[in-house]
Amino acid sequence: MKSSLKITLTIVAIVILAGIIFFFRQRGPHLPHTRPPHAAGTYITKSRLVFAGYATPEAALESMTWAMMNGDYDTSIASLGPEMRADAVKDPKDRKNFESSMRKMSTRFKGMQIVAKKTLAGDKVELKLKLDVALPSNSHGDVPPFFIQPMTRFGNEWKLGGSTRGYETNWDQSGQIQTFVQ
């Protein structure tokens, strides 16, 4: 009887261990717990940002912004597409530079709003977003009213698929656009 109990306990331990390994391979040990994303079009203050995972382009952008505002280098890197990720981790000083930049940026960032989405292909979209950023008092410029963020799907996850660029009025003139806020 004792040996059958040992075998049973060993099998149970193996199943539990296999489940833990599967969980961390799927999720990654460094990612925070996923929370429901805000609805597209919602103005999200810095304090309301969440790590929303990568199931949609909007959730992925909120997750990346959350990671940046919280100084979470690993999650920020995980939010990038493979090519961007490879470029981002080339220099060992990147983590320190990121942390320094985010400390400054997070004090100026007030919020964001995804106002529209343009579908380019089944695995590529662009998000039109508005950033609410307080410029330093010695600044002589203005924050552009909108930005465009390319997003790409890799497998089942959406990631940043290119650099953020300024909005141009012709962006709204073509393509399959879903408007969340007028």
Say yes or no: 19 and 63 in one domain: no
Q: Identify the pLDDT of residue 51.
A: 96
What is the percentage of the chain residues whose pLDDT exceeds 90? 51
Say yes or no: 9 and 68 in one domain: no
Residue 176 to residue 128: CA distance in whole angstroms: 13
Residue 85 vs residue 159, higher pLDDT? 159
Say yes or no: 116 and 136 in one domain: yes
Residue 124 to residue 113: CA distance in whole angstroms: 20
Say yes or no: 21 and 67 in one domain: no
Domain of 110, CATH number, reads: 3.10.450.50
Q: What is the mean pLDDT of residues 135-156?
A: 85
Say yes or no: 158 and 126 in one domain: yes
Q: Identify the pLDDT of residue 105.
A: 81
Q: Which pairing describes strands 147-154 and 157-160: parallel, antiparallel, or unpaired?
A: antiparallel
Say yes or no: 9 and 97 in one domain: no
User: Any idea which of 33-47, 64-78, 93-107, 117-131 has the lowest mean pLDDT?
Assistant: 93-107
Count: domains in the chain: 2
Say yes or no: 145 and 124 in one domain: yes
Say yes or no: 49 and 8 in one domain: no
User: Any idea which of 12-21, 105-114, 134-143, 165-174 has the lowest mean pLDDT?
Assistant: 12-21
pLDDT band at 87 (very low <50, low <70, confident <90, very high): confident
Say yes or no: 100 and 152 in one domain: yes
Given a cut of 80, is residue 5 above it in pLDDT? no
Q: What is the mean pLDDT of residues 112-123?
A: 96
Q: Are 42 and 113 in contact (CB under 8 A)?
A: yes
| Full-model pTM | 0.79
What is the percentage of the chain residues whose pLDDT exceeds 70? 81
Say yes or no: 155 and 174 in one domain: yes
Mean pLDDT of the chain: 83
- Domain of 23? 1-30
Say yes or no: 8 and 74 in one domain: no
